[in-house]
Structure 1
Amino acid sequence: MKDTQANFAGRVAGLLGAALVLAAPAAAQARQGQDDGAPADLLITGGTIYPGGGDPFTGDIAITGDRIVYAGPQYPHTAQRTIPAEGMIVAPGFIDPHTHADDALMSDIPAARLVLPFITQGVTTAFIGVDGRGDPDVAVTFGEDSGRDYGVNFATYVGLGALRGEVIGSDDRPPTQAELAEMVALTDQAMCQGALGLSTGLFYAPQSYAEEGEVVALARAAARHGGIYDSHIRDESSYTIGLAGAVAEAIDIGKHAGIPVHIAHIKALGVDVHGQAGAVIEAVETARANGQVVHADQYPWPASGTGLSAALMPRWAQDGGREAMLARFDDPDQMARIRSEMAENMRRRGGPASLLITRGPADVLGKTLEDLAPAAGGDPVQAAIDVLRRAEAGVASFNQDEADIAAFMVQPWVMTSSDASAGHPRYYASYARKYDTYVRERQVIDLRQFIDQSTVVPARAFSIEDRGTLSKGAFADVVVFDPEAYAPRATFLEPTLFSTGVRTVVINGVLALDEGAPTGKAAGRPLPRQSKSTNCPAP
């Protein structure tokens, strides 16, 4: 069965226009799959079913309303619509625990809210508000009284950066007691409104100005409600406390706050820490053996994506925000120090050829700092400064070693994610790339590991009820893909090409992708977490 790319492209163009700039083995599945004999709304038949947490089997999935009513070898009744899936892989819809799809989901444009880059890979649930950016007003994020509809399910965090921005601003200082109390109260409010937990981006200014005690106080507030502590850790490289120190800090925060710890997009970033995956794994395993809940996600790319200033500018030079940073560019004494530290940051990331501009002024897109250096007198640091004077830019930073990527990927506590953000192919192709590169080509993991890491593992880790499995009573989030055709098309120079090979996507019982083409139906839902605190106001 082949993808009809022309048909797909036509459907996408029509939908988007200018808007796009734990389960059981087969026998047990069959036993629990018996239903009451009523005709199903939708029947997916004859595929190889990977149920999420169980052995694969050949059989059928029957759906009525938004739930699965049968998962077993052969459905004994009729259905209003039957989708043949012989030769296909049938799996639970993928759950992406770390994305930057906030803008798409909060957009005023209905076509953007479909989030087709996710649906065309089989992603049916996404987490937003990550890296400390989650709005404390979670009710607004979930679209209370907005009338918005969504292409995928989503959950959100409350973020340290958003809390600090609202209460302190962008200054490099600790909060006063009153300010900390205000941030704690905002965290409580967000958790009562359904936040997953507290997210931080301790690498980024102004969150990097927060000391551990401040983070523990906010994490304790999230813990009272049964939340998760999710962190882009303070250092994935050798910028400040080092990779090992940052992992230790995340684990320590979890221990002192009494909260599960999730390490976002786990990696060893930069030449100084290549080969340290083993030490990070040992630290996490030790914490887990001591009774802590610690897990992580990982995107399957050798290049990270971040802002040019985040990659190269020292944090002290960002104190006070962009305007204050630009003023320092005109101070010769400060500029000498800035240039020296930028050069060192460029070195640790692999040099100017490893930094590709993916977002910013049109004339620099698709060029590395090495490419831009001749126009800056042969100086790549000056080239970066020239770009930053004009606008903040995004970069793909080629900074990881494949041995470290593989070492993290095989861990049972590491799940698939995309870290989806504009200008990086991970938005359009992370799940397809992980399958095509690390299952088919390099055989780092097998197909069941890939599916479990993308479904039941995050569902269990984050207590996403009735999702991540194909079993009777679960929500009908399903992906059907061709194992011979499922592959990425997006590249670092063309990051917005849709992946191929996904034939069918069902979200809450509704066809979102049918015969490889988007239907335009928005059946996703906000997924507020139920607070465990008794101090939340009655809804």
Structure 2
Amino acid sequence: MASRLAAALLAVPSAAAAELPAADLLIVGGEVHDGTGAAGRTADIAVRDDRIVYVGPDGERAVHAARILDASGLLVMPGFIDPHTHADGDLLSSDPDRRENPAYLHQGVTTVVIGNDGGGSPDIAEKAAGLENAGVGTNVGLMVGFGPVREEVLGETNRAPTADELARMQRRVARAICQGALGFSTGLHYAPQTFAETGEIVALTREAGKRGAIYDSHLRDESSYSTGLKASVAEAIAIGREAGAPVHIAHIKALGPDVWGSSGEIIDMVDEARARGQRVTADQYPWRASGTRISNALVPRWALDGGMPGLRARFDDPEAAARLRTEMAENLRRRGGAETLLITRGIGDADRWDGKTLAEVAAAMGSKPIEAAIAILRRSDARVASFNMDRSDIEAFAVQPWVMTGSDGSTGHPRKYATYPKAYRDLVTSGKLDLPTFVRRSSGLVADTLGLTNRGYLEADAFADIVIIDAERFVPRAGYANPEELSEGVVHLIVNGSLAIENGRPTGVHSGRVLLRQPSRGTCP
């Protein structure tokens, strides 16, 4: 490095060097993948303040840099943008180490989106101010969620809104989009969102669509629980079409033996909608196990009217309890059986079952699996890793040009700590996807989908969110038995022009920002 710098200084007279544009940092010699999907090239990148000011050859002749990073032999890429996380707990923590968001930084992620699955608070301005004032390690985008909006107006009841109640919900969604939410998010598999009919969702999504924001949805059914996977994909596409909003399908999958092998039909449905001019995208994580709670995996939606208190009361009603046991047993079959549900994080006294399958818990209790699940649900609602996806479906979705990487990161599941290096290993190292396409699906495509301007690309005037990795060492370390191991291989990571990781070690800076979307002109007061 020293000899290269010395040679550059000899080639440029000192007076001329003083006249060059100033830069804080110059990254030299790396293989640059710019996020467009174009082939990588050797280039230098200069950063001043929070922006990229130069990308091209001979950077040492183009700028006068206060510091040079030698990236020879390394990959230089836009910082990854994760469109679907559950990082709220870390980013809103009083602990600055948690707010640094190390699980994502060490994967090369510089921007995370929260509020997915319909869970995001509609008070966007308030939440954004809190995040900015506290300081966070990654950039953050916010979704307004259907769940809090509906609960605010209707509680957890299973009924349709009146015209006045629907109007109140519409105003809440519109206000959130005007405050900078990236989109309107739903989790239609979850109570009380599952109680909504399609028309109600269209009316709310329209508030996002008319302001240029997306409709982001965890489908009503990813399996055969209710409407079925294909009907749920069709519903999401129809909602976007009727509401005039781009559709984004969260963590696309075919969940459970009943729908294994249906990826081809789903891909055809999306391709047909896109061919008609509709904007439809999806995100995907590379894990065979999903992450959820026992209630979401096994309990029928009708039994969650009134939330967990309502469910527990039904366990004590002989008629309701009999129906519950029958339907929970069928849902367990849909998931592939008690051996496929691994408890990853209990609540309260359920912690003692961490790392055991539901089958093992039942054996320890001396009961049947459904009785063991009910015993847990009476006191808590443990998180589970549910091994319910077929590898061929995962691979079929992964190579679609409208699919991007997304972790769906949650406590107790390795996807929070290791999604991006695992996807890299599964797709690029295996030869299923070329590197430029992988970079695009993890950066530029996500920025374009979410409406994030000057993010996701390595180009002049873009914000300096940059990841530099050693491809040989970019590997996941977390697994189902050790879900909170930091990934390896990120040599340097830059967030808004500041080094967040340097030589593989976190620097402790909190240079992330809240990324608020500008609504379409003239659509907000």
For the aligned pair, the TM-score class normalised by the smaller chain equals: over 0.9
Deviations 1:127-161 (A, max 9, x none): 11110011011011212597221111111111111
AA of the residue aligned to 1:311: A
Aligned to 2:228: 242
SS of corresponding position for 2:133: coil
After superposition, residues 309-348 of structure 1 pair within 5 angstroms as 309-348=295-334
Aligned to 2:395: 406
Rounded to whole Å, the distance in 2 between the matches of 1:504 and 1:535 is 41
SS of corresponding position for 1:174: coil
Are 1:433 and 2:417 an aligned pair?
Answer: no
- Aligned-pair CA distance for 1:124: 0.3
Rounded to whole Å, the distance in 2 between the matches of 1:314 and 1:36 is 70
Aligned to 1:509: 497
Does structure 1 conserve the Cα–Cα contact (< 8 Å) formed by 2:468 and 2:493? yes
After superposition, residues 176-195 of structure 1 pair within 5 angstroms as 176-195=162-181
Pick the aligned partner of 2:520 from 507, 532, 535: 532
Are 1:80 and 2:66 an aligned pair?
Answer: yes
Rounded to whole Å, the distance in 1 between the matches of 2:282 and 2:488 is 27
Rounded to whole Å, the distance in 2 between the matches of 1:200 and 1:279 is 23
SS of corresponding position for 1:61: strand
Sort the Cα spacing of 1:146 and 1:281 in 2 relative to 1 into closer, same or farther, 3 A. closer
Structure 2 stretches lacking a partner, 5+ long: 1-17
Deviations 1:297-339 (A, max 9, x none): 0011111001110000011111101111111111121111111
Rounded to whole Å, the distance in 1 between the matches of 2:180 and 2:233 is 27
Aligned to 1:12: none
Are 1:451 and 2:435 an aligned pair?
Answer: no
- Aligned-pair CA distance for 1:416: 0.5
Rounded to whole Å, the distance in 2 between the matches of 1:520 and 1:177 is 50
Deviations 1:187-209 (A, max 9, x none): 11101110111100001111000
Deviations 1:411-443 (A, max 9, x none): 000000000111110010000111122221x32
TM-score where L is the length of structure 2: 0.94
Aligned to 1:174: 160
Rounded to whole Å, the distance in 2 between the matches of 1:488 and 1:144 is 32
AA of the residue aligned to 2:450: F
Deviations 1:84-141 (A, max 9, x none): 1111110000000011111212222222111010111110011111100110110112
Aligned to 2:242: 256
After superposition, residues 195-344 of structure 1 pair within 5 angstroms as 195-344=181-330
Pick the aligned partner of 1:47 from 9, 19, 30: 30
AA of the residue aligned to 1:57: R
SS of corresponding position for 1:356: strand
- Aligned-pair CA distance for 1:37: 2.2
Rounded to whole Å, the distance in 2 between the matches of 1:409 and 1:535 is 36
Pick the aligned partner of 2:133 from 140, 143, 147: 147
AA of the residue aligned to 1:518: P
Deviations 1:365-420 (A, max 9, x none): 01001111213434111111111112111010000011100100100000000001
Rounded to whole Å, the distance in 2 between the matches of 1:37 and 1:259 is 46
RMSD: 1.3
Pick the aligned partner of 2:77 from 91, 109, 131: 91
Does structure 2 conserve the Cα–Cα contact (< 8 Å) formed by 1:224 and 1:533? no
Rounded to whole Å, the distance in 2 between the matches of 1:396 and 1:68 is 40
AA of the residue aligned to 1:102: D
Aligned to 1:70: 54
- Aligned-pair CA distance for 1:74: 2.1
Does structure 2 conserve the Cα–Cα contact (< 8 Å) formed by 1:57 and 1:73? no
Rounded to whole Å, the distance in 2 between the matches of 1:133 and 1:488 is 28
Pick the aligned partner of 1:158 from 134, 140, 144: 144
Sort the Cα spacing of 1:94 and 1:372 in 2 relative to 1 into closer, same or farther, 3 A. same
Sort the Cα spacing of 1:331 and 1:300 in 2 relative to 1 into closer, same or farther, 3 A. same
AA of the residue aligned to 2:30: G
Rounded to whole Å, the distance in 1 between the matches of 2:303 and 2:457 is 48
After superposition, residues 418-429 of structure 1 pair within 5 angstroms as 418-429=407-418
Aligned to 2:11: none
- Aligned-pair CA distance for 1:170: 0.6
Rounded to whole Å, the distance in 2 between the matches of 1:66 and 1:292 is 35
Rounded to whole Å, the distance in 2 between the matches of 1:511 and 1:81 is 12
Aligned to 1:500: 488
Are 1:468 and 2:456 an aligned pair?
Answer: yes
Aligned to 1:126: 112
Deviations 1:321-358 (A, max 9, x none): 11111111111211111111111111111111100001
AA of the residue aligned to 1:291: G
- Aligned-pair CA distance for 1:444: 1.8
Does structure 1 conserve the Cα–Cα contact (< 8 Å) formed by 2:210 and 2:523? no
Question: 4+ residue runs of structure 1 moved beyond 6 angstroms?
Answer: none
AA of the residue aligned to 2:479: T
Please say which of residues 69-78 and 91-100 is displaced more in the overlay: 69-78
AA of the residue aligned to 1:269: L
TM-score where L is the length of structure 1: 0.91
How many aligned residue pairs are there?
Answer: 502
Rounded to whole Å, the distance in 1 between the matches of 2:368 and 2:191 is 26
Pick the aligned partner of 2:21 from 31, 35, 38: 38
Rounded to whole Å, the distance in 1 between the matches of 2:243 and 2:45 is 42
AA of the residue aligned to 1:52: G
SS of corresponding position for 2:270: helix
Rounded to whole Å, the distance in 2 between the matches of 1:162 and 1:249 is 21
AA of the residue aligned to 1:48: E
Rounded to whole Å, the distance in 2 between the matches of 1:399 and 1:368 is 14
SS of corresponding position for 1:147: helix
AA of the residue aligned to 1:114: E
Does structure 2 conserve the Cα–Cα contact (< 8 Å) formed by 1:376 and 1:382? no
Rounded to whole Å, the distance in 1 between the matches of 2:116 and 2:58 is 41
Does structure 1 conserve the Cα–Cα contact (< 8 Å) formed by 2:100 and 2:510? yes
Does structure 1 conserve the Cα–Cα contact (< 8 Å) formed by 2:345 and 2:383? yes
Does structure 2 conserve the Cα–Cα contact (< 8 Å) formed by 1:375 and 1:383? no
Does structure 1 conserve the Cα–Cα contact (< 8 Å) formed by 2:92 and 2:131? no
Aligned to 2:337: 351
Rounded to whole Å, the distance in 1 between the matches of 2:275 and 2:518 is 28
Rounded to whole Å, the distance in 2 between the matches of 1:306 and 1:36 is 58
Rounded to whole Å, the distance in 2 between the matches of 1:206 and 1:383 is 25
SS of corresponding position for 1:390: coil
- Aligned-pair CA distance for 1:534: 2.2
